[in-house]
Structures are given as structure tokens and as C-alpha cells.
Structure 1
Amino acid sequence: MKLILVRHPAPDVASGLCYGRSDVAVTPQNMAASCASLLASLPAHLPLYSSPLSRCSVLAQSLARALPASQFTQDPRLAEMDFGAWELHPWQDIERTDIDAWAADLAHYRPGGGENVLAMATRIRSFLTELLREQHATVIIICHAGTIRLLTALQAGLSLEETAVLAASNRHQIAYGATVTLDFQRPIVTPGI
């Protein structure tokens, strides 16, 4: 199965803000520009899945109508990581000791008391396992950079803990509105945690 992963457009927030699971908006101009660009490159009549956060779901709804999509599904497992008390705070205002604690335990530390990367990896793997059972040739998924990193890391067939660490340590920047294509030719078999 081929997964065409699309990162949402740039949200209308100050630069350097931790916004993870927060439902931040995208300006109508950015949304329209992303939609037009993607319509020029995305294939039509494919199943389309989306994070329920509006920066993804608004784009996904527009694409689903315009392409049109063969089916449209919002799935909460595709949401970005929950950064708890860090949400909507500038990264520079978060205590350095807290950032260092997260860096020391990428899989298990709960930033801001929110979700850890291992929990996010578990829900992303659950989504992917279910999706692969549906046996589509190609799907489009509108989601977040963290979700894209985890889906990419899942291709390696590592344990969930190793997958979480690989995704969290990946410094690859995924541009807003960019697409990443993954090909899962065989089912994912991941060892236990």
C-alpha cells in the first residue's frame, strides 16, 4: 500500500510556539494556497484520512470534495502529540531541565505531563495496522509532522519503543503542506515493546 502523507498548512501561531494537540487555525489564505498546490499534484478517487484537528481536517474536507475522494475518514489516532502544560507556550519559556529530561528519555518522558512518544507510536501503529487490513492500493493522509515521522519509522519493523526513539530523534524538517510518500509492500510485523 502506498501512503501519500501530507503535512497540514502553516498554522496561524507565533513562531516558536509549542502547539502539538492544540486545535490552532490556519489563515484562509494559507489554506487556499495549500489546497490549490495539492490539487495540482494529488491523484483523485483515493481514500482520504485526516487528523481531526482543524489544521488538517479543513484541508482534508476541501481536498475530499475537489478530488473527489473515494471515502473520507477523520481518525483521532492521527492527531499530533499532546504536550500537556507545554501546549501554547513558547519553546524558549519551557524549563531547560524539562527539555533535557525529555531528551534523556525520548520514548517514555511525558512533555508537560501530556503524552509520551511511545503512547503516540502505539496509536499510530494501531491506525496503520487497521489501514493495511483494508488493502487499498494508495491512500492520502492529512496529518502532522510527528505523525509522519512515526509512520516513516514504522517501516523499519522495530519494536514500538525503538520506533518511538527513532521518530523522536529524527531531526528531518517536514515543510508545511509537503508530501511524503511511503510504500508498505508487506504487512508490518513489529516485535513487542
Structure 2
Amino acid sequence: MSRAPLYFVRHGETDWNAEGRLQGQRDTPLNRKGVAQAAEAGARLAGLLGEDVGALPYLASPMERTRRTMEGLRAALGLDPAAYATDERLKEIGFGAWEGLTWKEVRRSDPARAQARDRDRWNYCPPGEGAESYAMVAQRVRPLLDAIDRPTVIVAHGGVARAVMVTLGAASAEEAPHMEILQGRILVLAGGTRAWV
């Protein structure tokens, strides 16, 4: 099945990102660096798409950090900051009881489960309400991806980026959980390939 290219933007930095904390589905705001990264992503998108930048659909996770990134990106492009859609299926992976912790804290407080996750990061689901595996996130986003029929700009999260790459054949389930997902950059996904711009 031939798919339209996606221009994927991970939200800008939050204080929890800077501290290495698992945000999951906690609503955390962008920090000053994150606001700058949103504008930077807009400039990169303008360089990539040129005059077509205003004609594409724009779709974001409904979480605050993604909405603020989308609005900053669109403002940098000279577009109406509010003229985009949100979709619940783009929310970040749920880390359950681990949300708010750093990986170091998880390994110290829950070593057996942390080791179990290390053995199979794609399929492992943390403990606690709302927790998900990357495989579960991939199932959640697949119907959304299947419905996209033209080039689209998406602003979402690192875990969602991993699930999207695997779903689109741009990364394997083994490599995706270990990949760095950059902030302030554009991940171009087209024809089963990936490239950072």
C-alpha cells in the first residue's frame, strides 16, 4: 500500500524532558527551550516544503506540550496557530506507575520489571493504570495512519514516533525503542524510509 509522506515533529522540550523523567500521559508544559524548538521546527518545515507548507493538513496529539509545539510551529510559518486538528490516538505511550520517574529511579525501585522491559522493549507493558507497550501504541495509531491519504504534518511524542516508524516499515520493532527522537527537527517518513531534516 502506497502511503503519503508524513512530516513528524516531536514536541519541544519540557522540564521533565530535561530531567529525564517519563512523562507519558501527564500533561507537562514546554519550557523556554521547547518554545524555541517549536519555532525551529517551523523554520525547517518551511525550508522543506516551501510554498506548499500552508496547504497540508496539520494534526497533533491533544496534550499541552504537543499543542503548544504545533501552535509555535504554525506561528513561525505565518499560519493561523489554531487552525489544526487533534486526535486522541496520538497521545504519548502510557508509562503507568512509572510516570514522573527517571529511568534510574525505575531501575532502583522496580529492578525486576525494568530488566523485563530491557529484554523486550517493544512488547513490555509497565505496571499501573493506563500503561501501554509500544506494540499497543502501534495498534492505536494504525487506523489513523491508514486514513491519511495526503502529505500531513503531525506533532506528537517520542513513543508515538517509534510506533509510527514501525507501522510504516521505516524501523524494526527491535531498533525503534532504542532510537533517539529529536526535538526541533522534522522526521520525514516516506516509502518505508526515514530521514531527519
CA distance in 1, matches of 2:119, 2:38: 39
CA distance in 2, matches of 1:93, 1:39: 35
CA apart distance, 1:10: 1.0
Aligned partner (choices 41, 58, 83) of residue 48 of structure 1: 58
CA distance in 2, matches of 1:119, 1:36: 31
**Which residue number in structure 2 is paired with residue 130 of structure 1?**
147
CA distance in 1, matches of 2:161, 2:125: 20
1:109 partnered with 2:113: no
CA distance in 1, matches of 2:8, 2:124: 27
1:73 partnered with 2:63: no
- CA 1:107–1:32 in structure 2 vs 1: closer, same or farther (change >3 Å)? closer
**Which residue number in structure 2 is paired with residue 141 of structure 1?**
154
1:154 partnered with 2:158: no
Aligned partner (choices 64, 71, 84) of residue 61 of structure 1: 71
CA apart distance, 1:64: 3.5
**Which residue number in structure 1 is paired with residue 12 of structure 2?**
9
Contact 1:7 1:143 (C-alpha < 8 Å) held by counterparts: yes
Q: How many residues align?
A: 174
Aligned partner (choices 64, 76, 86) of residue 98 of structure 2: 86
CA apart distance, 1:52: 1.1
Residue pairs, 1:23-34, within 5 angstroms: 23-27=27-31, 29-34=32-37
Equivalent residue of 1:18, what SS? coil
The one-letter code matched in structure 1 to 2:70 is A
CA distance in 2, matches of 1:47, 1:31: 23
Runs of 4+ in 1 over 6 A off after TM superposition: none
CA distance in 2, matches of 1:16, 1:63: 24
CA-atom RMSD in angstroms? 2.5
CA distance in 2, matches of 1:123, 1:20: 15
CA distance in 1, matches of 2:159, 2:122: 13
CA distance in 1, matches of 2:43, 2:74: 14
Contact 1:50 1:60 (C-alpha < 8 Å) held by counterparts: yes
Q: Provide the TM-score with structure 2 as the length reference.
A: 0.77
The one-letter code matched in structure 1 to 2:143 is S
Identity %: 29
Which deviations, in whole Å up to 9, do the C-alpha atoms of 1:123-179 show, x marking residues without a partner?
111210122xxx22x211111111112211122299xxxx655533xx221222221
Contact 1:98 1:111 (C-alpha < 8 Å) held by counterparts: yes
Q: Provide the TM-score with structure 1 as the length reference.
A: 0.79
The one-letter code matched in structure 2 to 1:85 is A
